[in-house]
Amino acid sequence: MSFTHVVSFISVVREGSFARAADRLGVGRSAVSRSVRKLEDHVGARLLRRTTRSVSLTAEGQTFYDACWPGVERIVLAIEEMQDLREGPPRGQMRIAAPQSFGRQVVAPLLVEFQALFPELSLELLLGEGAVDLAADRIDVAFRDGDLEDARIHARLLAPMQLRVHASGDYASRHGLPASVDELARHACINLRLPNGRLQEWHFKGRERMHAVTPNARLVFNDTSLVLQAALDGMGLAQLPACVGRNAVAAGKLVVCLDQLAPDNRSHYICYLSRRQQPARIRAFVDFMTRRIREPG
């Protein structure tokens, strides 16, 4: 069995198709297909389900992939690095993960501009609140909040993550705005249900340290966009990341309060697996997103 067969199989799984795997490896699609068939013959099992539109792992293929990937990863990355030494713009496929609100409000609008600069790149944006394993989930770049403990992950600071209490102008004119955290109890609040089932705590600066409160919410959603829309509809107060409410505040649709108590101990990060040499597509994406997100306004 040639090691090339294993590399071809791994590339098909990572890229999601024989054609993209062939492009990544710099060979013909038929060569990749032959390599995978020879590998299946050698191990005596069907590793991939093939249809006209998709490729997926069989149970045996998943077992084989999980066993092979840690050792093959270094070889695959070396191939990618050599591919990037070729002249020409970044190409290939990128998988990007982001929290739902940050992904919708910040990342997704910038993808159009990025892909116009690099039209040979295919992008897949995955939104979710749970933590992702960049290696296991085959994620090229992830946006995260807070500190990271995984030594394999390199995190570049994008911007402070400001949490601001928002309300519509209509709500403010009808009910006023709280001047202290204690006054939140007299207001209708809109809150977020987290993936773990708990309600989102609202964080504020204290005299000596940060403290958290869970307001008695009139409305609860499990999606930040719905919390934002309820605030726009005048249904109450909502504590949201500044990036989520920024456009509505700039347009005069939302106002903010308790800003003097807004926490400043959290940040947005863009993350990727640490490597000696990053593939050109990841370098281009990280540099672009860092520059655009840090721009004022």
Q: pLDDT tens for residues 239-252?
A: 998 888 888 999 99
Structure tokens belonging to residue 33 = 């297909």
Give the CA distances from residue 72 to residues 69, 75, 77, 189, in Å, rounded to whole numbers and listed in that order: 5, 5, 9, 51
Whether residues 103 and 247 fall in one domain: no
Dihedral of the alpha carbons of 263, 267, 268, 271, in degrees to the nearest 10: -160
Same domain, 170 and 116: no
Domain limits for position 243 = 163-261
pLDDT tens sequence across 159-189? 878 889 999 999 999 999 999 999 999 999 9
The number of distinct structural domains making up the chain is 3
CATH number at 57 reads 1.10.10.10
Question: Distance (Å, rounded) from C-alpha 219 to C-alpha 217?
Answer: 5
Per the CB < 8 A criterion, the answer to whether 258 and 123 are in contact is no
**Model pTM above 0.85:** no
Among candidate residues 84, 112, 136, the one where a domain is terminated:
84
Mark whether 45 and 181 lie in a shared domain: no
Residue whose entry in the numeric block shows the structure tokens 């202290």: 180
Are both 152 and 275 inside the same structural domain? yes
Which residues are 199's β-sheet partners? 193
Q: What is the pLDDT of residues 103-151, one digit of tens each?
A: 888 899 999 999 999 998 899 999 887 677 787 778 889 998 765 556 5
Question: Are 22 and 71 within one domain?
Answer: yes
Say whether both 154 and 172 belong to one domain: no
Examine the fold and report which residue of 60, 84, 108 is the final residue of a domain before the chain moves on: 84
Place of tokens 């093939």: 50
Task: Specify the CATH number for the domain of residue 104.
Answer: 3.40.190.10
Query: What H or E segment, with its residue span, contains residue 171?
Result: helix 169-175
Residue type, 57: L
Within this chain, do residues 52 and 126 fall inside the same structural domain, yes or no? Answer: no
**184 and 256 assigned to the same domain:** yes
Does residue 279 have a pLDDT over 90? Answer: no
